[in-house]
Structures are given as structure tokens and as C-alpha cells.
């Protein structure tokens, strides 16, 4: 296994990272373009986010999406179908349903 050495970030690299992030480029694309690992890009993006230098690209759930997910879940529709209907991943739907169960907004499902 080769030992990778720490490589300091230049001001230009940081600026490029911010620009690519704002353009919506993937971590993989940014890493390839900058000659960095995906881990390095993720870590630097998290640092920049926590210091208020970039905005999160995380897409927050709308009230309509939550309401639709609850209604569909209560109707017995699968997480895959809910995900398709509200343009989310199955994993995101499963996580949201779990949070809603924990908050008492929906009853715990027996199987899924």
C-alpha cells in the first residue's frame, strides 16, 4: 500500500472547489479535476460548510412531499413507490418514515 502524503490546499484550489460545488459538480468529478481523492473533497466541503463558506446541496423535504409520503405510507404503498412519486430515493423515504414514526406523526409499520 502506498503512503499518500498530505497536500495543502491552495487559494486557487479552494476557489475552484467552491465554484465547482456551486455548479453542482459531483464529488467524483471535482476530485478527478483537482487531482484529489473523493475523501479529501468531501472533508474540505464539510469544513467549508461548517464555516459558512458554502451552502449545503442537501435537498430539504417540502411540506407537500412529507404529506404525500405520510398519506401513501398509511395507504400501504411501498417505499419504492413513494420514492418514485415524490422524486426521492427509497433510502431517503425510509429514513423520513422512520423520523416520522419517532416523532409520532405516523404509526410504526409492522413490515416493509
Question: Residue 109: its pLDDT value, please?
Answer: 58
Max alpha carbon distance in the chain (Å)? 54
The predicted model scores a pTM of 0.53
Percent of the chain that is helix, strand, coil (3-state, to 5): 60, 0, 40
Q: Which helix (H) or strand (E) holds 93?
A: helix 90-102
Domain ranges of the chain: 11-51, 63-103
DSSP 24-57: T--HHHHHHHHT--HHHHHHHHHHHHHTTSS---
Q: What is the mean pLDDT of each run of 10 residues along the chain (112 residues)?
A: 73 95 91 96 94 83 93 95 94 93 81 48
Task: Give the per-residue pLDDT at 77.
Answer: 96
Amino acid at each position: 500500500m502506498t503512503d499518500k502524503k498530505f497536500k495543502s490546499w491552495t487559494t486557487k484550489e479552494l476557489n475552484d472547489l467552491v465554484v465547482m460545488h456551486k455548479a453542482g459538480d459531483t464529488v467524483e468529478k471535482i476530485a478527478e479535476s483537482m487531482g484529489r481523492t473523493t475523501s479529501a473533497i468531501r472533508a474540505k466541503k464539510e469544513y467549508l460548510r461548517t464555516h459558512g463558506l458554502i451552502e449545503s446541496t442537501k435537498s430539504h423535504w417540502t411540506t407537500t412531499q412529507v404529506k404525500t409520503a405520510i398519506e401513501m405510507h398509511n395507504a400501504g404503498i411501498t417505499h419504492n413507490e413513494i420514492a418514485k412519486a415524490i422524486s426521492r430515493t427509497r433510502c431517503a423515504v425510509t429514513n423520513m418514515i422512520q423520523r416520522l414514526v419517532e416523532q409520532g406523526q405516523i404509526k410504526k409499520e409492522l413490515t416493509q
